[in-house]
Amino acid sequence: MDFMKPETVLDLNNIRQALVRMEDTIVFNLIERSQFYLSPLVYKSNYVRIPDFDGSFLQWTLLQQERIHSQVRRYEAPDEEPFNPTKLLPSLLPPVNYPKILANYSKEVNVNEEIYQFYVENIVPKISCKEGDQLENLGSVAVSDIECLQSISRRIHFGKFVAEAKFQLDKQLYTKLIKEKDIESIEKSITNSAVEQKILERLVDKSRSYGTDPLMRYSQNPQSKVDPEIIVKLYKEFIIPVTKKVEVEYLLRRLEDTQ
């Protein structure tokens, strides 16, 4: 995506291509996380006592990571939302003068809290290789979790580009639906079941290809590092519906932006 060229960013074909590429990153990251134990201590509030901090070890590590990344301008990008939007640092790099692509309030549409909770409660238990903690790996686990969280967050918030592109394609329709607060029709208009079905099929293939040692492919029991069904379920039950939620939330406010 070249955010300096808004006309290419709001082309639905380009958006779809970017979303397909993000699947690879998400699958890679989940495979990496699957090497580690469940590690409940990483998610337990104040298990590690850190001065002036109240929260879990993962939350602390994620905050530190985001503070560094905010200094290198990560969250100025229209496709990146932080998990700690109120605790960031000023950038050390000169600002990028992004052309206007999304509505002004776009950064206020942030579902990371929901992503965090779902990830910890529903994804980690399914992909980790074993119950319990491996005390010497708490740091590695947190670092790996952050990669997963960030790639899932980016994928979900990318819905804003889909929403904006669709709005641009039929301003009249959306203006009407938004004024009527007709959430159901908005949801319908942004849903493409054929595309969704294709995503799920592709994910089975990707989880198998990326998660299986290629030398094992023709063996009798080529076990994938993460069960493809888990990744399909994650998309079906969480990533796709929450992306839609982002799109709807974005669209419902779209008339605030008078440009």
Catalytic residue selected from 8, 46, 191, 192: 192
How far apart are CB 181 and a copy of itself at their closest, in Å? Answer: 35
Nearer to a copy of itself, 186 or 226 (CB): 226
Catalytic residue selected from 208, 243, 244, 254: 243
Q: Tell me, yes or no, if 243 is annotated catalytic.
A: yes
Catalytic residue selected from 196, 236, 249, 253: 196
Nearer to a copy of itself, 57 or 161 (CB): 57
Q: Tell me, yes or no, if 196 is annotated catalytic.
A: yes
d(CA 238, CA 156): 9
Within 10 angstroms of residue 126's Cβ, the number of other Cβ atoms is: 16
Give the chain's length: 259
Q: Tell me, yes or no, if 184 is annotated catalytic.
A: no
Do 56 and 149 form a contact (C-beta atoms < 8 A)? no
Nearer to a copy of itself, 24 or 180 (CB): 24
Q: Tell me, yes or no, if 21 is annotated catalytic.
A: no
How far apart are CB 48 and a copy of itself at their closest, in Å? Answer: 6
How far apart are CB 203 and a copy of itself at their closest, in Å? Answer: 10
Q: Tell me, yes or no, if 87 is annotated catalytic.
A: no
d(CA 77, CA 95): 10
Q: Tell me, yes or no, if 192 is annotated catalytic.
A: yes
The torsion angle over the Cα atoms of residues 93, 8, 232 and 220, rounded to 10 degrees, is: -90
Do 39 and 30 form a contact (C-beta atoms < 8 A)? no
How far apart are CB 169 and a copy of itself at their closest, in Å? Answer: 26
Q: Footprint of a copy of itself on this chain (CB under 8 A)? A: 2-4, 20-21, 24-25, 28, 31-32, 35, 48, 50, 57, 61, 64-65, 68-69, 71-74, 77, 92-93, 96, 98, 134-136, 138-140, 142-143, 202, 205-206, 208-210, 212-215, 217
Q: Tell me, yes or no, if 16 is annotated catalytic.
A: yes
Do 186 and 178 form a contact (C-beta atoms < 8 A)? yes
For 106-174, give the DSSP string: GGG---HHHHHHHIIIIIHHHHSSSSS--GGGHHHHHHHHHHHHHHHHHHHHTHHHHHHHHHHHTHHHH
How far apart are CB 164 and a copy of itself at their closest, in Å? Answer: 18
Catalytic residue selected from 33, 74, 166, 254: 166
Nearer to a copy of itself, 65 or 112 (CB): 65
d(CA 56, CA 50): 9
Q: Which residues are catalytic?
A: 16, 155, 166, 192, 196, 243, 247
